[in-house]
Chains A and B, each alone.
Chain A
Amino acid sequence: MLGLFRKELKSYFNSPIAYLVVLFFVVFSNVYFFFFNQFFSKNIATLRGYFALMPVIFIILIPSITMRSWAEEKKTGTEELLLTLPLTDIQLVLAKFLSSLALLAIMLGATLFVPLTVNMLGDFETGQIIGEYIGALLLGAAGLAIGQFISSVTSNQISAYIFSVVALLFITVIGEAAIIFNPSAWLGKVLSYLSFSFHFESFRKGLLDTRDLLYFLIIIFYFLYLNIKVIKLRK
């Protein structure tokens, strides 16, 4: 499994995708935070605004990481190699997921200079920033699991990307949409509870709520499980 993990991670960096994703993420999030969000003029020692943007950026970036995952293997015929190597379906799905998670971690790691720099300007809470990073990692991991599943049921990268963007957009904003269209109070609550934004909110405030943690873990495991089922069904 480690062999496939290493190969997958290497493949990200053998193509321009990984560099573009990391570059876009770092440049866009910083330009937005420091210029459009006017971090300096607000004079508040918090990175909440920085992390508030994560769910939106992830809708565009996560699918670009996962779109190749299975769709490209099917297109080039390497899926036949993978499924005849001595690896279980679980190992195949996990190796792919963990390699994309590693890329996400690298992407988030590339933003660490932001808290390290602004920390010198004011009294930032380290615990809050750590919570925000854990939340971003979980949010991204859930998106990766969904994107990887969609890649397994589509036959080319473009379809995988488009369907993943739509799926992530839906699950991210479903809570807000419920409020806008004003459905009955209970339905609004349920839809809101299902959305990424709702569960990311506490992390954004630097809180580690086990319900939110559990929510993201359930999403991750559920979509990885579906991915394994798709591989089994193909046999």
Chain B
Amino acid sequence: MIQAEGIEKKYGSFKAVDDVSISIGRGEIVGLLGPNGAGKTTIMKILTGYHLPTKGTAVINSYDVYKEPLKVKESIGYLPETAPLYTDLTVNEYLSFICDVRKIGKDKRKEAIDRVISECGLEQVINRPIDNISKGYRQRTGLAQAIIHSPEILVLDEPTSGLDPNQIIEIRKLIQKIGKDKTIILSTHILQEVEAVCNRVLILNQGKIAARGTTEEIRREMKGDFRYSIELKAEDSEKARASLSGLDTVNEILKFNTSSKGFFEIRLSVKDELSSGEAIFDWAVKNNCKILSMIPEKVSLEDLFIKLTNQGEGK
């Protein structure tokens, strides 16, 4: 498990990470989201022992990053943003080197290398120098070194970067499989990846956590972000519009178009999904309007991301 309390990292006077606390248990896959420079990579570097926090504590698999850095490093598998490869070695030589350093005995080495070759789809390039393989294979070789010792904790900085769509699906499946009984934290720019792979998400902005939880929880927390698309039949459009916008539950009328005579397409931002639906129905009955369809819209992760990260910039 990963337990970080109030971590802060300064580079000179610049605060890259500011009072961030994270708790991730076994069997969880947590996604770190944030714009460039939000502090995602710095957090990952702290969790792997590459950087030490200026303030706060980080405990990885019950080992403190300050007190037992070697135990921390034994417990983690790390794929940095740029796959860390020795391009003069072949894939096999590189993985053997990692086995050497990670003290995987010679009796278990072949089994470990064969396993990661199969899991990461490296069969075709195993004896080729890393210098001569494609970016996708390089990324997969980087991932293979991160999982070769079956670590309890996996830290992945943009793991699907440079992969083609089929490879992305395979690697996501692999991450989900590993994540069933291990702890995984990954950062990505691909918002769909978080929804596809992660149990929880942390949205970072300017070194601080802007939101945390499941994507559903974050949506709920972002009050006023429920939306309805409504098809409505009304005799007097202006009157309908005015009285609808006067409802307490309505934040804003985002769209009010005439589709044909007497029929309107409306898009609303409301305060709460359930009670707002009821209030709109009551309003329609009271105002002699007919609702032909009423579809609750879910706010996409993209919308949340933009809203949260723009809020931070506004401050």
Q: CB within 8 Å of B: which residues of A?
A: 2-4, 6-7, 10-11, 14-15, 76-81, 83-88, 235
Contact = CB atoms under 8 A, between A and B. Distances in A.
A33 B80 CA distance: 51
- Which of B76, B86, B102 neighbours the largest number of chain A CB atoms within 10 Å of its CB? B86
Interface stretch (B45-53, B233-241, B245-253, B304-312): B45-53
B89 A84 contact: no
Nearest to A80: B80
A7 B86 contact: yes
A4 B49 CA distance: 19
B101 interface: yes
Contacts of B88: 11, 14-15
Contacts of A235: 50-52
Interface string B70-100: 1001101010111111111100010001111
A77 B99 CA distance: 19
A2 B100 contact: yes
Contacts of A81: 78, 80, 84, 145
A3 B70 contact: no
Given A11-B88, A78-B86, A88 B97 contact: no
Contacts of B81: 77
10 contacts: A3-B100, A4-B100, A4-B101, A7-B89, A10-B93, A76-B87, A77-B82, A81-B145, A85-B102, A86-B73
A209 B189 CA distance: 63
Given A7-B86, A235-B50, A77 B101 contact: no
A210 to B, nearest CB: 37
Contact of B76 (A84, A87, A88): A84
Contacts of A84: 48-50, 73, 76, 78
B101 A86 contact: yes
9 nearest CB pairs, A to B? A3-B100, A81-B84, A14-B88, A77-B82, A86-B73, A3-B101, A78-B84, A86-B74, A84-B48
B101 A88 contact: no
Contacts of A11: 86, 88-89
A77 B70 contact: no
A88 B50 contact: no
Contacts of A76: 84-87
Contacts of A10: 89, 93
B100 A7 contact: yes
Given A77-B84, A80-B84, A86-B101, A14 B89 contact: yes
Contacts of B85: 76, 78
- Which of A11, A14, A77, A84 neighbours the largest number of chain B CB atoms within 10 Å of its CB? A84
Given A6-B100, A80-B50, A80-B80, A85 B89 contact: no
Nearest to B77: A84
A12 to B, nearest CB: 10
Contacts of A78: 84-86
A80 B145 CA distance: 13
A85 B80 contact: no
Contacts of B83: 77
Given A11-B88, A77-B82, 13 more contacts: A3-B99, A4-B97, A4-B101, A7-B86, A7-B89, A7-B100, A11-B86, A14-B88, A79-B84, A85-B101, A86-B70, A86-B73, A86-B102
A83 B46 CA distance: 12
A17 to B, nearest CB: 11
A130 B57 CA distance: 54
A81 B77 CA distance: 10
Nearest to A95: B101
Contacts of B82: 77
A10 B88 CA distance: 9
Contacts of B100: 2-4, 6-7
Contacts of A4: 97, 100-101
